[in-house]
């Protein structure tokens, strides 16, 4: 078994041919992941009991001649903002260092039902706020391809695990780019599904109107299999969509002849770096595949970063109010009165970025500023969504960069929040519009740093997005 290069298909074939059992695979995968974790700090915690229990279940099914499920014995890493029953879930925060959730997120329940093995929980920026995983209370993650660089964020641990081969698949969460940007930095595939496509039940809330759970994988095909397993209506999340879940693999036949693709002028005008060259080369490949490529305008793009950092911080300031030393979190010892206890718990527990966002979010929601900031941002959000709606009247999908630059050095942007926020410039728009978007590797810079191409599609049109990603991967492999 070559653990770091295993595919879903190889695992299935090996199990059914009885070359190895699910329990053997679980043991080997855990051993490999634990042995290699010090190189990246991608995992915060392993969950061997859970993985071995699920593996035994898969073996029993195979012994009884039953179908063990589409993800049978596939090792999956889970971002530590997604709750797992009886497995500590920290959200990258000191406040939740010992928090043991009493229930599973719906995505976790569905993964295990499909036969997957939850290997462990991955490191991330505190409450998913960040673009480099340096805001974790448990130390940063290193990019497995360039250890002096960040893996991106906030799902940096999940991206690093998949890139390093210490998991076949991973779950990330995306509010403004946290799946796509680390996928791009680590050279893997990351998918932000349509808002509401995957239940948020059990995803720790950062900015509820923007939060998504999504797949991270080494190919578009494997990301699609993962999405298939977790997508669909969930009575536990009122914002999960009723829309039926199509068979994603059916659209992955390699034919994209005549597909109309939009290239947004606003995304390409400042992109002169190696990233720009790689995106241009990717577009040339798509043209060769028979795609009909045209330039489009998304004029509200310039306001996206400002709009996002008002809406996201406003929602975060409200969502983070629950960490008060009474309900979930550890409590500050040095407290006299109740208000001192709140203040000390939150003052000692939250890291600098969370505090910055709580202050900003509280400010934009406060009486007198609500109209000037929050309400205005909501209007801009509607304009951004309208830009996409107009574009999709004309094209089937949009192609763009994921990030203006490849993985940066650890420490390079940590003291400059504005520079850090600007790394989300191309991913935030899709999140605000709630449309499906993904990152697909499109090559490396001269220094060997991966670059991702972003594909955006209309609401619930994941099939077109996957079809294009898959055709592009095939073309690159040839």
- Give the footprint of ligand GLN on this chain (CB under 6 A): 128-131, 154, 174-178, 206, 312, 424
Distance, CA of 40 to chain centre:
18
Asked about 219 being catalytic, the answer comes back as: no
CB of 210 to ligand GLN, least distance (A): 8
How would you write the chain as a 3-class SS string? Answer: CCHHHCCHHHHHHHHHCCCCCHHHHHHHHHHHHHHHHHHCCCEEEECHHHHHHHHHHHHHHHHCCCCCCCCCCCEEEEECCECECCECCCCCCHHHCCCCCCCCCHHHHHHHHCCCEEEEEECCCHHHCCCCCCCCCCCCCCECCECCECCCCCCHHHHHHHHHCCCCEEEEEECCCCCHHHHHHHCCEEEECCCCCECCCCECCCCCCCCEEEEEECCHHHHHHHHHHHECCCCCCCCCCCCCCCCHHHHCCCCCCCCEEEEEHHHHCCCCCHHHHHHHHHHHHHHHCCCEEEEECCHHHHHHHHHHHHHHHHHHHHHHHHCCCCCCCCCCCCCCCHHHHHHHHHHHHCCHHHHHHHHHHHHHHCCCCHHHHHHHHHHHHHHHHHHHHHHHCCCCEEEEECCCCCCCECCCCCCCHHHHHHCCCCCHHHHHHCCCEEEEEEEECCCCCEEEEEEEECCCCHHHHHHHHHHHHHHHHC
CB of 180 to ligand GLN, least distance (A): 9
> What's the CA angle centered on 175, arms 200 and 451, to 5 degrees?
125
Nearer to ligand GLN by C-beta: 325 or 361?
361
CB of 84 to ligand GLN, least distance (A): 19
Asked about 79 being catalytic, the answer comes back as: yes
CB of 360 to ligand GLN, least distance (A): 11
Nearer to ligand GLN by C-beta: 176 or 262?
176
Is residue 122 a contact partner of residue 75, using CB atoms and an 8 Å limit? Answer: no
Nearer to ligand GLN by C-beta: 134 or 174?
174
> What's the CA angle centered on 286, arms 283 and 289, to 5 degrees?
155
Nearer to ligand GLN by C-beta: 356 or 386?
356
Distance, CA of 238 to chain centre:
21
Q: Which residues contact 156 (CB under 8 A, 6 or more apart)?
A: 42, 123, 124, 125, 132, 133, 140, 141, 150, 182, 185
Closest by Cα among 398, 466, 209, 268 to 474: 466
Of the residues 29, 93, 154, 219, which is catalytic? 154
Report the distance separating Cα 344 and Cα 97, nearest Å. Answer: 16
CB of 474 to ligand GLN, least distance (A): 29
Nearer to ligand GLN by C-beta: 150 or 291?
150
CB of 197 to ligand GLN, least distance (A): 16
Of the residues 29, 178, 199, 219, which is catalytic? 178
CB of 176 to ligand GLN, least distance (A): 3
Of the residues 29, 47, 79, 132, which is catalytic? 79
CB of 181 to ligand GLN, least distance (A): 7
Nearer to ligand GLN by C-beta: 21 or 178?
178
CB of 424 to ligand GLN, least distance (A): 5
Query: Among all residues, whose Cβ is closest to ligand GLN?
Result: 178
Nearer to ligand GLN by C-beta: 129 or 168?
129
Closest by Cα among 161, 157, 152, 208 to 180: 152
Asked about 178 being catalytic, the answer comes back as: yes
Q: What amino acid positions are annotated as catalytic residues? A: 79, 154, 178
């Amino acid at each position: 078994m070559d653990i770091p290069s295993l595919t879903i298909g190889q695992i299935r074939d090996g199990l059914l041919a009885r070359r190895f059992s699910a329990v053997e695979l679980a043991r080997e995968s855990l051993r490999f992941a634990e042995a290699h974790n010090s190189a990246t700090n991608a995992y915060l915690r392993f969950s061997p009991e859970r993985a071995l229990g699920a593996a035994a279940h898969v073996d029993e099914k195979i012994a009884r001649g039953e179908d063990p499920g589409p993800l049978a014995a596939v090792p999956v890493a889970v971002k530590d903002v997604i709750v797992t029953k009886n497995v500590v879930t920290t959200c990258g925060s000191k406040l939740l260092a010992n928090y043991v959730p009493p229930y599973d997120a719906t995505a976790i329940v569905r993964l295990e039902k499909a036969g997957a093995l939850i290997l462990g929980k991955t490191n991330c920026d505190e409450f998913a706020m960040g673009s480099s995983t340096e805001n974790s209370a448990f130390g940063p993650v290193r990019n497995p391809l360039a250890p002096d660089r960040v893996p991106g964020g906030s799902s940096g641990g999940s991206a690093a695990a998949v890139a390093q081969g210490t998991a076949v698949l991973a779950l990330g969460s995306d509010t403004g780019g946290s799946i796509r940007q680390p996928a791009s930095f680590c050279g893997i595939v990351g998918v932000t599904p349509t808002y509401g496509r995957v239940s948020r039940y059990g995803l720790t809330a950062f900015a509820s109107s923007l939060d998504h759970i999504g797949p991270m994988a080494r190919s578009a095909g494997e990301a699609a299999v993962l999405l298939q397993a977790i997508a669909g209506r969930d009575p536990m999340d009122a914002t999960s969509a009723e829309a039926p879940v199509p068979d994603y693999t059916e659209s992955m036949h390699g034919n994209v002849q005549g597909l109309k693709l939009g290239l947004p002028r606003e995304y390409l005008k400042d992109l002169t770096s190696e990233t720009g060259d790689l995106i241009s080369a990717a577009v040339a490949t798509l043209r060769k595949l028979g795609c009909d490529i045209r330039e489009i305008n998304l004029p509200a793009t310039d306001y996206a970063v400002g709009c996002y950092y008002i809406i996201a911080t406003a929602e975060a300031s409200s969502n983070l109010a629950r960490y008060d030393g009474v309900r979930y979190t550890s409590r500050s010892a040095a407290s006299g009165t109740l208000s001192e206890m709140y203040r000390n718990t939150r003052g000692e527990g939250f890291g600098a970025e969370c505090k910055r966002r709580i202050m900003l979010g509280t400010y934009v929601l406060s009486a007198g500023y609500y109209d000037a900031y929050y309400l205005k941002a909501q209007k801009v959000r509607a304009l951004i969504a309208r830009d996409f709606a107009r574009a999709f009247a004309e094209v089937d999908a949009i192609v763009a960069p994921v990030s203006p630059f490849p993985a940066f050095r650890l420490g390079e942007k940590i003291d400059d929040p504005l520079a850090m926020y600007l790394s989300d410039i191309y991913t935030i728009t899709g999140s605000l519009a709630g449309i499906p978007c993904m990152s697909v590797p499109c090559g490396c810079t001269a220094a060997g740093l991966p670059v991702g191409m972003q594909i955006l599609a209309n609401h619930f049109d994941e099939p077109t997005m996957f079809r294009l990603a898959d055709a592009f991967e095939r073309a690159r492999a040839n």
